[in-house]
Amino acid sequence: MRCQMEKIRKHFYFSGRVQGVGFRYRSYYIAQSMGLTGWVRNLWDDRVEMEVQGTREEIREMVERLSQQSFVEIEGIEAREIPLEEEFGFHVRE
């Protein structure tokens, strides 16, 4: 069993009403406030792609907080664990 404090990295695709509602910038502010690293960007097909690194619980909390934001309606989430990366901060990609 993995330690609860062990860092992981997850890759997400979010679908629903996730573009044009501040999803990327809210992701940025939530991640920054929680000390998480990674990036987020809009895709051409109206989904949002995100990679985030932290503990399993921190990542779960971030997604939960995003789903509770005004105007955001997450209808689908595709997620998979990927290798950790050396990085600092969380960035909004264009």
Any idea which residues carry the catalytic annotation? 24, 42
Q: What is d(CA 58, CA 55) in angstroms, rounded to the nearest whole number?
A: 5
* Secondary structure (H, E, C), 25-57: HHHHHHHHHHCCEEEEEECCCCCEEEEEEEEHH
Of 2, 66, 67, 1, nearest in space to 36 by CA: 66
